[in-house]
Amino acid sequence: MIDIKNILDKLGIEPVNHGVTTGQVSWPGNGEILTSFSPVDGKKIAEIGQAGKYDYDQVIARSVEAYKVWRLIPAPKRGDIVRQMGDQLRKMKQDLGTLVSYEMGKSLQEGLGEVQEMIDICDFAVGISRQLYGLTMHSERPMHRMYEQWHPIGLVGVISAFNFPVAVWSWNAMLAWVCGDVCIWKPSEKTPLTAIACQQIIKTVLKENDVPEGVSSVVTGGREVGIWLADDPRIALISATGSIPMGRAVGEAVARRLGRSLLELGGNNAIIVTRSADLNIAIPGIVFGAVGTAGQRCTSTRRIIVQEDIYEEVKNRLVKAYSQLKIGNPLETQNHVGPLIDKMAVEQYQASVEKVKEAGGHFIVAPNVLSGEEYESGCYVSPSIAEVENGYAIVQHETFAPLLYLIKYTDIEEAIAIQNDVPQGLSSAIFTNNVRESEQFLSQVGSDCGIANVNIGTSGAEIGGAFGGEKETGGGRESGSDSWKAYMRRQTNTINYGSALPLAQGIKFEFD
C-alpha cells in the first residue's frame, strides 16, 4: 500500500488545523468540511475546507486583478510559462499519478497516463502560443486594409468531473492560459485533493516567473459553487464536464446571462463489428473500452453492434475475455479493473442491472457486487455483458459503470442507424477491413458522433485532435486542433489609410 502522507507532502499539501487541509490554497475555505475517501480501500484521505461565498468572491476579485497583468504578457512568453508547468508535471508525474489512482480509483497506469495527458497538452499549448493566427481579407474599398485578430476573453471557469480529475482541467487551462485568460477551477467534490496538488505545482511556476497566483485558482465545493460560477457575469466562459443534467443546468444558467459555455457531457458509445473485422484486435479494443476506468469514462464503450453472421463468435470470445479479468486494488499492476468512485455509483449500477432484466435483457456475463477483505470499500463490481435491444430505455441511458450491451444487426445501414439511435453523440468506432464500410461510417450518412474511429475503440483520445461530441453530449470541443478559439474573442479590423471615406456596398452619403 502507498504512503499517502508522504505523497501529499511531496506534492506540497500540508495538513493544517488537526488534519483539515485547506481547500483554497491561498484562500482557506470557510464553508462546510468536505471529506475525501479513497474508493480503493474506503479510507479517509483528508478533510478539506470548502469555499464559502466570501471565499468565492475573494478568488474572483483576485482573478480579475491577475487578468490585468497576464493579458499583457506576450503570448509566446505565456507559452514558455506553460512549458515550465509541463516540466514540473514531469518531475511530479509518479506522485501525482499515484494520487489520481488512489483518490479516484483508476489503475496506476491510467493515473500516470492522465498526468502524461497534462504534459502533452502543455507541449501542444506551447506551440499554439505562437500560432494564435488571424486572417487578412481584401477590402472592397480602395486604400483600406481588413483583417481579424484574436484577444483573450478574461475569466474562464472550469467545472471538472471525477473520472478525469486533472487531465480535462488541463485541456482547458493550458490553452486558456496561452490565450491570455485566467482560470477558476471547481473540481469534483469526489476528487478535491488532486486539484489542490495541481494548484500547488502551478503556483510554484507562477511565483518563479513573478506572475500573480490569481492566474490559477481552485474553488472546492459542491453544486452551490457551480451555480455561483454559472451565474457570475464576470466569468466569460464556463467549461463544464459531467452528466447531461448537470450540463443542461449550467448551459441554461450561462445562456440567461448571454455568456459562453463549453459542454462535454455524457456518451453512449458504440462499436460496430462487421463480418470482415479482425477479431484479434476488435476484442481487446472492446474489452478495454468497456472496463477501462471501471467503465467510468465518457468515452467508455457501452454498446457492441455485431453483424449476425459473427455474432455468436464475438459473444463467445467476449465471455472468455471477461473471465480472465482481474478485479482489485488498482495500484497493483496485475489488476485490470478497479473500483467505482463510491457506493452511490454501485447503487446506480445495480439499478441499471435491474432495469436491463425488467426490459427483457439477458446477461451472458453476470453482474455482481464484490465483497470480502480485498473489496472492503464496497465499491467494486464485476464487469458484465447483457444481450439487449437498442430501444430499451436503459440502453438509451448512460450508466457510468462496466455494463456492456450486445446488439445484433444485419447490414451496415442498420448498424449505423442503431449506432446513431441514442440521445448522446460523443465517440463511436467500427472494426472492419472493408474500405466501403469504413468510408460510409465516416461519411455524412455515417456516425453522428464528434469522434468516429476505424479499427480502434471508442476510448483513448489523443490531445492533438479536438475532443467533444454532438446532440446531448453538448457540442463543445476541447484540447487539440483549433479548440483554442473557444477561449478567445475574434475581432474584425478595418483600417483606412487613404484621404477619402468611401462607404461599403457603394453607398453614397453626401452633404454640404
Q: Which residue in 129, 128, 150, 197 sits closest to 169, CA to CA?
A: 197
Alpha-carbon distance values, 43 to 22, 345, 378, 407 (Å): 19, 17, 11, 40
**C-alpha cell at position 265:** 457531457
Q: Which residue in 16, 84, 74 sits closest to 47, CA to CA?
A: 16
Per-residue pLDDT tens for 84-137?
999 999 999 999 999 999 999 999 999 999 999 999 999 999 999 999 999 999
Distance CA 379, CA 40 (A): 8
- Stated length of the chain: 512
Q: Which residue in 31, 82, 338, 336 sits closest to 209, CA to CA?
A: 82
Site of grid cell 489512482: 101
pLDDT of residue 512: 77
* % helix, strand, coil for the chain, step of 5: 40, 20, 40
Whether 306 has a pLDDT exceeding 80, the answer reads yes
Q: CA 346, 350, 356: angle at the middle one, nearest 5?
A: 145
Q: Which residue in 429, 166, 151, 451 sits closest to 288, CA to CA?
A: 429
C-beta of residue 380 within 8 angstroms of C-beta of residue 372: no
Q: Which of the two residues, 209 and 508, has the higher pLDDT score? A: 209
Distance CA 136, CA 146 (A): 6
pLDDT of residue 28: 53
Helix, strand, or coil (residue 388): coil
C-beta of residue 290 within 8 angstroms of C-beta of residue 402: yes
Q: Is the dihedral of CA 351, 352, 354, 358 positive or negative?
A: positive
CA dihedral 199, 201, 203, 208 (to 10 degrees): -170
Any idea which residues carry the catalytic annotation?
A: 264
Q: How confident is the model at residue 22 (pLDDT cuts 50, 70, 90)?
A: very low
Whether 308 has a pLDDT exceeding 60, the answer reads yes
Whether 424 has a pLDDT exceeding 50, the answer reads yes
Domains, the chain, ordered by start:
4-265+474-491 (3.40.605.10), 269-467 (3.40.309.10)
Compute the average pLDDT of residues 165-181: 98
Percent of the chain past pLDDT 90, that is, above it, reads 89
Per-residue pLDDT tens for 216-230?
999 999 999 999 999
Instruction: Fill in the DSSP letter of residue 297.
Output: S
Neighbours of 246 (CB within 10 A): 18
Per-residue pLDDT tens for 373-389?
999 999 999 999 999 99
Site of grid cell 499554439: 128
Bridge partners for 159 per DSSP: 186, 240
Distance CA 232, CA 238 (A): 10
pLDDT of residue 23: 36
pLDDT of residue 32: 86
Q: Which residue in 243, 162, 237, 172 sits closest to 195, CA to CA?
A: 162
Distance CA 487, CA 212 (A): 20
Mean pLDDT check: name the lowest of 69-73, 380-384, 461-465, 489-493.
461-465
Q: What is the rounded average pLDDT for all residues in the chain? A: 95
pLDDT of residue 497: 97
Written in H, E and C, the secondary structure of 115-173 is HHHHHHHHHHHHHHCCCCCCCEECCCCCCEEEEEEEEECCEEEEECCCCCCCHHHHHHH
Bridge partners for 303 per DSSP: 270, 405
Give the CB-side neighbour count of residue 349, counting CA atoms within 13 A: 30
C-beta of residue 274 within 8 angstroms of C-beta of residue 415: yes
Amino acid letter for position 136: T
All residues at 6 or more sequence positions from 443 whose CB lies less than 8 Å from its CB, including other chains: none
Distance CA 105, CA 292 (A): 11
Q: Which residue in 232, 302, 240 sits closest to 53, CA to CA?
A: 232
What is the edge-to-edge ordering of all strands in the sheet holding 20-22?
20-22, 44-49, 33-37
pTM for this entry: 0.95
Per-residue pLDDT tens for 336-346?
999 999 999 99
- Phi first, then psi: give them for residue 35, nearest 5 degrees: -105, 130
Helix, strand, or coil (residue 459): coil
- Start-to-end CA distance of the chain, whole Å, equals 88
Distance CA 247, CA 261 (A): 9
Q: How confident is the model at residue 15 (pLDDT cuts 50, 70, 90)?
A: low
Compute the average pLDDT of residues 239-244: 97
Helix, strand, or coil (residue 507): coil
C-beta of residue 232 within 8 angstroms of C-beta of residue 60: yes
